[in-house]
Amino acid sequence: MCKKVPLRGALIVLEGCDRSGKTTQCKNLVKALEANGRPAKYINFPDRTTECGGLINSFLTNKKDFNDETIHLLFTLNRWEAKNAMEILLRDGVTLIVDRYSYSGVAFSAAKGLDLEWCKAPEAGLLKPDLVLLLTMTASAISKRGGFGDERYEVPEFQQRVMKMYDQLKDDSYWTEIDADKSFGALHDELLTHCNHAIDNIVNEKMDKLW
Ligand code: NYM
Ligand code: MG
């Protein structure tokens, strides 16, 4: 039986607080999809390899200071500069597994006190994901994880505020919440099932836009 070729790749985003295991899960999802003959690529934001990403890295590692609005816009710019390349890959049938996206941008900045709508505005027009997988963790699970580094934002109290902001952003039409407080393998299997389902259910060749 011949397998149906999807119209395009799926744009799948993993979101959640720091230490929820997103990065390792994303990379393993790409490996698993590719092993099943489904072209996939790992993308992460912030992309610290660009000039703009270098400024963001200096901020996160406390080497540079920017006011809240400026760093917010730099994170957004870092996504805009990646947009065309992402669109080309998706059109070529490559599924993108994205480690953080606009939702991190808004949740982290709003958790610092910036207005949520102000934070969303410059993200409007970026590619809208087909699926957002939100890795949730309770306050006690966050504290238990520990191992937070010394980058900005990496403190349990702030992470809890970020989780509350995700609550305000989530949209059940394309978000799925997944409890990350389980074994790596169990979480991987659950995420992979959702990714395969998203790839199998692409109906529009054209990508939608945020928001
Ligand atoms: N972060 C990430 C933001 O504040 N805004 C954004 O738009 C994005 C994409 O950067 N604590 C924060 C969340 C993280 C930090 O991300 C670095 P990572 O995934 O730890 O490299
Ligand atoms: Mg981090």
Determine, yes or no, domain membership for 97.
Answer: yes
Determine, yes or no, domain membership for 1.
Answer: no
Residue 31's region, left for phi above 0, alpha for psi from -120 to 50, else beta, is alpha
Nearest-atom number in ligand 1 for the CA of 45 is 9
pLDDT tens for the chain, 211 residues long, are: 556 778 999 999 999 989 899 999 999 999 999 999 999 999 999 999 999 999 999 999 999 999 999 999 999 999 999 999 999 999 999 999 999 999 999 999 999 999 999 999 999 999 999 999 999 988 888 888 877 888 999 999 999 999 999 999 999 999 999 999 999 999 999 999 999 999 999 989 999 999 9
Determine, yes or no, domain membership for 4.
Answer: no
C-alpha to C-alpha distance for 185 and 183, rounded to whole angstroms: 5
Determine, yes or no, domain membership for 208.
Answer: no
pTM of the model as a whole: 0.97
- Ligand 1 in reach of 103 Cβ (< 6 A): no
For residue 36, the CA-to-ligand 1 centroid distance in Å is 30
Determine, yes or no, domain membership for 205.
Answer: no
- How many CB atoms sit inside 10 A of residue 90's CB? 22
- Ligand 1 in reach of 60 Cβ (< 6 A): yes
Nearest-atom number in ligand 1 for the CA of 44 is 19
Nearest one of 146, 138, 188, 144 to 163, comparing CA atoms: 138
**Helix, strand, coil percentages, rounded to 5, for the chain:** 50, 15, 40
Split into its structural domains, the chain has a count of: 1
Q: Looking at residue 3, what is its pLDDT? A: 63
The angle at the Cα of 122, spanning 127 to 209, to the nearest 5 degrees, equals 20
Determine, yes or no, domain membership for 17.
Answer: yes
Which amino acid, 178?
I
Q: Looking at residue 158, what is its pLDDT? A: 95
- Ligand 1 in reach of 100 Cβ (< 6 A): yes
Determine, yes or no, domain membership for 149.
Answer: yes
Ion ligand 2: residues, Cβ under 5 Å? 18
- Ligand 1 in reach of 75 Cβ (< 6 A): yes
Test site for ligand 1: of 78, 108, 161, 165, most ligand atoms within 8 A of the Cβ: 108
- Ligand 1 in reach of 20 Cβ (< 6 A): no
Question: Whose C-alpha lies nearest to ligand 1, atom 4?
Answer: 108
Q: What's the pLDDT tens digit per position in 78-115?
A: 999 999 999 999 999 999 999 999 999 999 999 999 99
- Ligand 1 in reach of 166 Cβ (< 6 A): no
Determine, yes or no, domain membership for 191.
Answer: yes
Which CATH number characterizes residue 25's domain?
3.40.50.300
For residue 46, the CA-to-ligand 1 centroid distance in Å is 6
State percent of the chain over pLDDT 70. 99
Nearest-atom number in ligand 1 for the CA of 153 is 11
Provide the residue range defining the domain that includes 193: 11-200
